[in-house]
Chains A and B, each alone.
Chain A
Amino acid sequence: MKRAGFDNIWLPVALLLPQLMIIAIFFYWPAGWALQSSFYLQDPFGFGSTFVGADNYTSLIGNDHYLRVAWFTVVFSILVTFFSLAIALLLAVKADKVLRGAKSYRTLLMWVYAIAPPVAGFLGILFFDQSTGPMTRFFQMFGWDFKLGVDYNATATAMIIVSVWKQIPVNFIFFLSGLQSIPRSVREAAMIDNRSATGRFWQVTFPLLAPTAFFLLIINITYALFDTFGIIDALMKSNPGNNPMTLVYKVYLDGFRGNDLGGSSAQSVVLMVLVLALTVFQFRLVERRIHYT
């Protein structure tokens, strides 16, 4: 709050009211409702519901499919985060270094940010097409009979590649702005102290980029968990079958296609706890990163 604040009473209330109302109706009510219905078993024909305690949660732990989906989500998140961060970091370091064409490279490398995930997924379908896709042919050169939507590993690979591709721009933008905020004097001092460019990068640049990288780590995990929904849905052509999927996709599948309200709500609550942990972590980081004046 500002020291020189205004004393008006009703104006701030009126200013806050729209935001608070929207949040109450579309955030707190649904979130509370999810928490409540995760303890109930919904009648499949809509005739009321019975209290079942923690049954919805315990049945998740014993559910093979759920555990398989959870495992895939972990592997998927780690791979997508690692590859998109690594490729973006390499490109950002190079883009920061070159003098000629720096601005053009920046534009070319970041505009994919604006492409919607399901549209990227649709492009993926054509690139990984079973008979004519260039990526399919590429994998066939290595003796892999790549079948999108049929073979579990093939579909998973396609999902990871498209998700990495879609996330490179965000990481690139953050890394580049992190690099550009390293003071010139620090770089010049490093030049004098250390002749090898690789040594300079790992000993000086990388530690200075660590806050950005750490912040991006959380952003990327959140992306892999939630924003890849469109890519996953497109690549499996809305036909889950034996295909890999993430936890969010399973919430959607059980809740909207399977009509398992209680189970889906319990899954939502598990995800909420997960995100809560991640965000508390991130919040402490953000507070440290920003200096209020």
Chain B
Amino acid sequence: MADTTLEAPAATRRPRRIRWETVGDHVVLILGSLLMMLPPLIALTTASHDAVTIHREGLQLTLGDDLGKNFKNALFEKGGFTKNVNGMLMLMNSFILGIGFAVGKIIISMMAAYAIVYFRLRFATLAFWIIFTTLLLPLEVRILPSYEAIQKLGLTNTYTGLIVPLIASATGTFFFRQFFLSVPEELAEAARIDGAGPWKFFIDILVPLSRTMIAAIFIIMFVFGWNQYLWPTLITTDESFFTLVRGIKQIVLTYTDANIPEHGLALALAIVAMIPPVAIVIFFQNWFVKGLTESDK
């Protein structure tokens, strides 16, 4: 009550000053939005021009006539060094990596977190520490030995070699552990009294309860997997396993090594590589923000 009486007269006495301040805020926000929006948008408009124009004049601000042609060629024309990989194949590999990584990570980390939180286990603390030490060292730090390990196991150029080592970190387990700890104690007690076993409790109660959490973590992990670059670069040398993000450099190099670099095609491919993760982040914004801020990645 007190604050309304304090604020109201101030607002009527000096309306102009307040309005200018708001205008200033909007100017800053619009400039910020332009800073973030323009580079990808200019990439899109540039991708609609033919190779000669882009080569001679650089980035284009207007839409040209070749948008459909460039996208069609980028997706269906065989490219790369061996000429047997096209955009569609790389798109499929990207989806396999993104979805495979996200689903694998969720299943494995949910199971581990459930075991740690809900069971009286003598070595629970030990398991906890074995798993959580992995949070300390990202894959990039141990990239060379990880590569050697994959090579010794004969898993180079396989989806297993591509996906599984990326799962070997505890981000997901840590996230689900936190969530399970916040689930009321009474739920497990009630389930036990009703005669539900641990497996039934997990599948019928805990998993449905975690739906929002699963969605949030799925988005984060899908984007993370889709955007992997260094690991796929090392593990896949066979072009039929290339993802878009991994293959883009090779494709760009072969496209741009020509007399007139095919920047239109390269940009079209770059945009194809952006669309799925960007779309998922925009459409499931609330889950995405929740997953990001609550997982403390």
Residues of A within 8 A of B (CB): 1-8, 11-13, 15-16, 18-20, 22-23, 25-27, 29-31, 33-34, 37, 87, 90-91, 94-95, 97-98, 101, 105-120, 122-123, 126-127, 129, 131-134, 165, 168-170, 173-174, 177, 188, 191-192, 197, 215, 219, 222, 226-227, 229-230, 233-234, 237-238, 248, 251-252, 255-256, 261, 264-265, 268, 271-272, 275-276, 279-280, 283, 286, 289-290, 292-293
Partner of A272, one of B121, B142, B168, B182: B142
Chain A residue at smallest Cβ distance from B56 = A132
On chain A, the residues within 8 Å of B76 by CB distance are none
Interface residues of B, count at CB 8 A: 101
On chain B, the residues within 8 Å of A286 by CB distance are 296
Majority SS at the chain A contact face:
helix
Q: A29–B278 Cα gap in the complex (Å)? A: 36
Whether A30 lies near B145 (C-beta < 8 A) is yes
CB distance from A45 to the nearest CB of B (A): 17
CB-defined interface of B145-186 with A at 8 Å, one 1/0 digit per residue? 111110001000000000011011110010000100110011
Chain B residue at smallest Cβ distance from A277 = B136
Q: A1–B115 Cα gap in the complex (Å)? A: 9
CB distance from A28 to the nearest CB of B (A): 8
On chain B, the residues within 8 Å of A261 by CB distance are 144
B40 contacts A by Cβ under 8 Å: yes
Whether A272 lies near B25 (C-beta < 8 A) is no
Whether B137 lies near A31 (C-beta < 8 A) is yes
Whether B137 lies near A108 (C-beta < 8 A) is no
Given the contacts A4-B185, A34-B145, A268-B144, A11 and B198 also touching, CB distance less than 8 Å: yes
Partner of A256, one of B56, B181, B234, B297: B234
On chain B, the residues within 8 Å of A275 by CB distance are 136-138, 141
Q: A251–B289 Cα gap in the complex (Å)? A: 33
How many contacts A-B (CB < 8 Å)? Answer: 293
Partner of A114, one of B121, B149, B278: B278
Whether A113 lies near B109 (C-beta < 8 A) is no
On chain B, the residues within 8 Å of A13 by CB distance are 115
Whether B3 lies near A5 (C-beta < 8 A) is no
**8 A Cβ contacts from B19-49 to A:** 21-22, 25-26, 28-29, 32-33, 35-37, 39-40, 43, 46
Q: A282–B186 Cα gap in the complex (Å)? A: 32
What 9 A-B pairs have minimum CB-CB distances, sorted nearest first? A132-B58, A30-B145, A116-B227, A114-B277, A12-B115, A26-B168, A15-B115, A12-B119, A19-B112
Q: A114–B273 Cα gap in the complex (Å)? A: 10
Whether B116 lies near A1 (C-beta < 8 A) is yes
User: Which among B108, B124, B189 has the greatest number of chain A C-beta atoms within 10 A?
Assistant: B108
B140 contacts A by Cβ under 8 Å: yes
Whether A22 lies near B168 (C-beta < 8 A) is yes
Partner of B33, one of A4, A109, A134: A109
Partner of A19, one of B138, B146, B173, B266: B173
Whether A279 lies near B135 (C-beta < 8 A) is yes
Partner of B245, one of A118, A123, A134, A215: A118
